[in-house]
Amino acid sequence: MASDGNMANVNGRDTSSSAATLNGEPVVKRPRESPSRENLLRVPKEPKNKVTVVLGAQWGDEGKGKVVDLLAMDADIVCRCQGGNNAGHTVVVDSVEYDFHLLPSGVLNKKAVSFIGNGVVVHLPGLFGEAEKNLQKGKVFNFHQAVDGIQEQQRQQQEGKNLGTTKKGIGPAYSSKAARNGLRVCDLIADFNVFKDKFRMLAEHFQTMYPNLNVDIDGELEQLKIDAERLRPLVTDGVYFMHEALNGPSKKILVEGANAALLDIDFGTYPFVTSSNCTVGGVCTGLGVPPSYVGRVYGVVKAYTTRVGVGAFPTEQDNEIGDLLQSRGREFGVTTGRRRRCGWLDLILVRYAHMVNGFSAIALTKLDILDTLTEIKVGVAYTIDGEPLPSFPANMDVLMRVSVEYKTLPGWRCSTEAARSFEELPAKAQDYIRFIEDFLEVPVKWVGVGKSRESMIKLY
């Protein structure tokens, strides 16, 4: 019974003359609660700031640095979230060419903070060689680079092939991370005596695995002690740094992806891939950013396709077309200097990258390289043994055997380099762009027709 002698009826109204029961027990009216601050706090919060992400949509070398450079001009923070100095980005500002390998391309914006997240592996001599100021949480040692070279030689001897590694120590460094015997910058800047013991154990581990590996352990430790003092004031806790940036006052936060979707360790053309997640998921794991804080994701697509090293390449043109694309596009790797393999644009591949990353829009680069062609082919479907493939194959043996169905589009046979708006582009170049949009069902936001900032045409 209620304390005041009243009962509650089935409609929830108080009455002293009737009573409702449930299993023989009186039903007592529950007092209506007034809104409180405690209840209001349970409402999900919308993120104050979100990160904008720029990712490669092919096999790398798409021109991500140029897109990042454009967006970084207004950014407050520019981040790297994965990879190492195996990535190479080129930016041209005022006719001066800058090459970046570890630092975000946005470092050219003096007002922006350049942040290197926990997902990046860093070779400190390479980093200090690029710039004096950096923030970091991952570590590559000289013996990682030596091991990378030895592993590549062993693959060549044992299987007659290699993976096309850049020999920058990226794979061995990520292997150390996965084996949980790797060292991080937080180890380096803590008790150096403890770090020394861990370092010796790691170096000796690799020497046991590779007897021909020569490591000057004492020499490296001497240099690392100096590096630790240089690095100490530049290190912060990345999770708290990003949390404050995302939930504090309004900020523009840009994330620069390294490598590209088809080089992703999980979703790329395995095993001819890099050792990190180059897709949008790497932003969350490499910076400590919750998925709900990921905003627009821009995919960078070269107007044709290139690839460095070995591995399947369905639209490759090992002929005069490939030679023309290579020479006009100056297709040599920024990191390795190796000649890039060239071929027609493969939209099956780019559509697959979109499935994984969910691109908000596309930045189409190097359209001007196609200016001299009479006709341009675009890969639109794969077949194998005469049967259509419904999806991009995960099995590389299958990808090596596919035949490509092409759509042939007319070339525009004139220069696009002076164009600064979509309307100034030749009509057939406009048709090429619209065909890509229609196939991918993703809008093209920028079109590149040259090397400078000014040559990136913004469509909307």
Residue numbers in the known binding site for Mg(2+) are 61, 88
For the question of residue 354 being annotated catalytic, the response is no
Residue numbers in the known binding site are 60-66, 86-90, 166, 180, 259, 274, 334-340, 366-368, 448-450
Residue numbers in the known binding site for IMP are 61-64, 86-89, 166, 180, 259, 274, 338
Q: The tokens 């100096």 sit on which residue?
A: 226
For the question of residue 177 being annotated catalytic, the response is yes
Choosing from 61, 69, 148, 264, the catalytic residue is 61
Choosing from 101, 177, 251, 302, the catalytic residue is 177
Task: Dihedral sign for Cα 112, 134, 94, 443, please.
Answer: negative
How far apart CA 154 and CA 150 sit, in angstroms, is 6
Under a CB-based contact definition with an 8 Å cutoff, are residues 343 and 315 in contact?
yes
Under a CB-based contact definition with an 8 Å cutoff, are residues 186 and 118 in contact?
no
Q: What backbone phi and psi angles, to 5 degrees, belong to 377?
A: -105, 145
Under a CB-based contact definition with an 8 Å cutoff, are residues 251 and 50 in contact?
no
Residue numbers in the known binding site for GTP are 60-66, 88-90, 340, 366-368, 448-450
Helix count and strand count (H, E) for the chain? 14, 20
- Largest separation between any pair of C-alpha atoms in the chain: 98
Choosing from 89, 101, 139, 354, the catalytic residue is 89
Q: Give the helix ranges, DSSP H, for 189-332.
A: 192-209, 217-231, 238-247, 281-287, 320-328
Task: Dihedral sign for Cα 399, 402, 403, 407, please.
Answer: negative
How far apart CA 444 and CA 361 sit, in angstroms, is 6
DSSP letter for each residue of 439-451 = HHT--EEEEE-SS
Residue numbers in the known binding site for substrate are 334-340
> How many residues comprise the chain?
460
Q: The tokens 């290190």 sit on which residue?
A: 235
For the question of residue 48 being annotated catalytic, the response is no
How far apart CA 296 and CA 240 sit, in angstroms, is 22
Under a CB-based contact definition with an 8 Å cutoff, are residues 301 and 439 in contact?
no
Q: What would the 3-class secondary structure string for 141-169 be?
A: CHHHHHHHHHHHHHHHHHHCCCCCCCCCC
* Token reading at 35: 């809104």
Under a CB-based contact definition with an 8 Å cutoff, are residues 84 and 121 in contact?
yes
Active site residues: 61, 89, 177
